[in-house]
Amino acid sequence: MIPLNAPDFGALEEQYVLDALRSGWVTTGPYVERFERAFAAFTNRRHAVACSSGTAALWLALMALRLPQGVPVLTQTYTCGSVLNAALRATAASPLVVDVDEDTWGMRADHAEEIFQKQRISALSFAHIYGVPCRDTADLLGLARTYGVPVVEDASEAHGAAINGAPAGSFGEISVFSCRGEKVVGGGQLGVAVTDDAALARRVRQFSENGLPAKTVRYWSTVPGLNFQPAHLNAALACAQLERIKELLASRRAIHDGYVARLAGYAGLRCQRTRPSDDSAWWLTGVLLEPAFTAMLPQDLGAALAERGIQTRPGFYGLHRLPHAGDVGPGPWPMADRLLERLLILPSGPTVTPEQQDEVVEAIMEITGRA
């Protein structure tokens, strides 16, 4: 079996998790505080608040911003459905969504500007898809300043990426990360929000602790928070991963470069691209299978690869396609639809070997009749 995205856990992770287990701390504890300090430094932010997942971090960020009810968040349609669910709950309104660019698959600023010109927006949220920095980050930040709305940077997949030398997670009022087990920094189920605003960080923490404003008065809640507190064992795991971040990023970048080299020269195959001034985390590597290469759909090729023990996955459904999304705007969203219809994510976790990459590419060529 060649796994899609198996985590790379080693001796340091084992050491920290065993230390956390033997400490007697279970829900919260010293590793949570250590992780928060380390992650704030990692992203050049003043404050980090750990929570139970990246989805929780998105909801907490939107809630802490005190967005007006009934006023939509503006985001991109090609992204994980978590942002849709968080926005629905935080604003009681369907988000408005725009299409993504052809290279980085990030939010298009020109499409966003069209929405700003027509409708009131409560917040702007854009994502770095598969760890690739959004091409239009600077323009999107400029739009947010012009229209006076806060920015939630969704860096869930972009640990270690950089835009003109500035780390992903350092843009806007608040940024969020997922640290699920298969992310670049994996901690089982874990998320984190980072910001430079101390008051905003306090509100994030309050909403994550059942709305409790302080620990001095037990069971006194002042806002409708939920229990999204992180687990001590998960934070210990993430601390070890964060200490190994250079090694983990190097592995993913080498795997991406390996696929690009192996697939070069085949018409109709194209990988995601990043700007020369930016650095990608390359969390996952996907390939667009254009009709010029094969008439096979990605799900059919993926099924054939699975029979050979090779795991893959398709692209995201655009938020505009999800049945509970509501009215998310006029569209169209051709690039997001193209990614759903033609994208196949290849095995690209940090444990994938060059020999396994050879096997993946050879299998693709055999199945599509290119061998």
**pLDDT tens-digit readout, 231-271:** 999 999 999 999 999 999 999 999 999 999 999 989 999 99
Every domain of the chain and the residues it spans: 11-243, 245-367
How much is the average pLDDT of 87-105? 96
Q: Is the peptide bond before 323 cis (omega within 30 degrees of 0)?
A: no
pLDDT, residue 367, reads 97
To which residue do tokens 């929000």 refer? 193
How much is the average pLDDT of 120-124? 98
pLDDT at 315 over 70: yes
- The answer to whether the CB of 274 falls within 8 A of the CB of 132 is yes
Is pTM, for the whole model, over 0.85?
yes
How much is the average pLDDT of 122-143? 98
- The answer to whether the CB of 248 falls within 8 A of the CB of 237 is no
What is the rounded distance in angstroms from the CA atom of residue 1 to the CA atom of residue 112? 42
In sequence order, which ranges of the chain are alpha helices (DSSP H)?
11-23, 30-42, 54-64, 82-91, 109-118, 137-147, 198-208, 232-243, 245-263, 298-307, 334-342, 354-367
Question: Between 210 and 278, whose confidence is greater?
Answer: 278
How much is the average pLDDT of 107-124? 98
CATH, domain range 245-367: 3.90.1150.10
What is the rounded distance in angstroms from the CA atom of residue 223 to the CA atom of residue 214? 12
pLDDT at 216 over 80: no
pLDDT tens column, 157-178:
999 999 999 999 999 999 999 9
What is the rounded distance in angstroms from the CA atom of residue 63 to the CA atom of residue 58? 9
- The answer to whether the CB of 186 falls within 8 A of the CB of 95 is no
Distances 135 to 57, 129, 272, 281, 313 between C-alpha atoms, Å: 23, 11, 12, 14, 24
- The answer to whether the CB of 152 falls within 8 A of the CB of 125 is yes
pLDDT, residue 28, reads 86
pLDDT at 47 over 70: yes
* 147 band by pLDDT with thresholds 50, 70 and 90: very high
pLDDT at 301 over 80: yes
What is the rounded distance in angstroms from the CA atom of residue 64 to the CA atom of residue 110? 28
Between CA 185 and CA 35, with CA 231 as vertex, the angle to 5 degrees is 45
List beta partners, residue 313: 345
pLDDT tens column, 5-18:
999 999 999 999 99
List beta partners, residue 167: 162
pLDDT at 217 over 80: no
- The answer to whether the CB of 185 falls within 8 A of the CB of 248 is yes
* Residue 50 three-state SS: strand
pLDDT tens column, 174-207:
999 999 989 999 999 999 999 999 999 999 999 9
pLDDT, residue 225, reads 82
**Residues of the chain above pLDDT 70, percent:** 99
pLDDT at 211 over 90: no
pLDDT, residue 290, reads 95
What is the rounded distance in angstroms from the CA atom of residue 290 to the CA atom of residue 343? 9
What is the rounded distance in angstroms from the CA atom of residue 306 to the CA atom of residue 81? 25
Distances 289 to 153, 321, 335, 339, 360 between C-alpha atoms, Å: 29, 21, 14, 9, 15
Q: What average pLDDT does the structure give for the chain? A: 96
Match domain 11-243 to its CATH number in 3.40.640.10, 3.40.50.300, 3.40.50.2000, 3.40.50.970. 3.40.640.10
